[in-house]
Every structure is written in C-alpha cells, then in structure tokens.
Amino acid sequence: MDSQVKVQGFRIELGEIEFHAKEFLKGANAVCISFENTVGNTDIALFIESGGDISSALSDYLKTKLPSYMLPSAVINCAQFPLNANGKIDKNALKTMMK
C-alpha cells in the first residue's frame, strides 16, 4: 500500500508514474513520493537523478502518457538521491525537501 496514494479521489500507483518517467529517461533513476501541500491536500512529486534540467521535457512527455490527475505537481532534479542505512533511496529525506 506504500506505493498507492489517493489524490483528488483517485487511487494512483506511484510505480506507474515512475515507469513512464524511467522510460523517457532511458532507465535513469526516478522516484515518486506523495506529500501534503500547503492547504493539506495530497500531491505527487517526482524526483529524477540527473545532471541536467529536463523537467519541462519530462512533464510534456508524461502529459501524453498519463491522465491529468496522475501528473506530478513537482518535478525535481537531484544530483544524487539520499540513501538510508540499508542503501535504499531514503524517501523520508526526499519528503523533507518538499517542506
């Protein structure tokens, strides 16, 4: 259930957004997280691990593959993802970047 969130009344699999992002990025790392925005609603952020800013091109691509309610409200470039003690991507650290 960790990868499924409810946004605007729709159930969304974050893995589906990650799949399309990775397809566009030719396999580069991409991670979706849900976060609470300033008005208390759930939003989606997509973090990509890349050296350049390709967020606008990626957003345009995702608009052709996903319905509007599944589009991330933020696409953020990271040079390197933070890792937890087990060597996995630390999604909690990514969430703190949204505050």
End-to-end CA distance of the chain: 23
Ordered by start, the domain boundaries in the chain are 4-96
The fold for domain 4-96 equals GMP Synthetase; Chain A, domain 3 (3.30.300)
Q: Structure tokens of 46?
A: 């997509």
Residues 6+ away with beta carbon under 8 Å from 4: 11, 12, 13, 14
pTM: 0.89
CA atoms within 13 A on the CB side of 88: 4
* In the predicted structure, residue 47 carries a pLDDT above the cut 80: yes
Q: Quick one: pLDDT band at residue 2, thresholds 50, 70, 90?
A: low
Sign of torsion over alpha carbons 6, 31, 27, 55: positive
| 61-87: pLDDT as tens digits | 999 999 999 999 999 988 899 999 999
Asked whether 28 and 51 are in contact (CB, 8 A), the reply is no
Tokens 């606008």, residue located:
56
Tokens 């605007």, residue located:
8
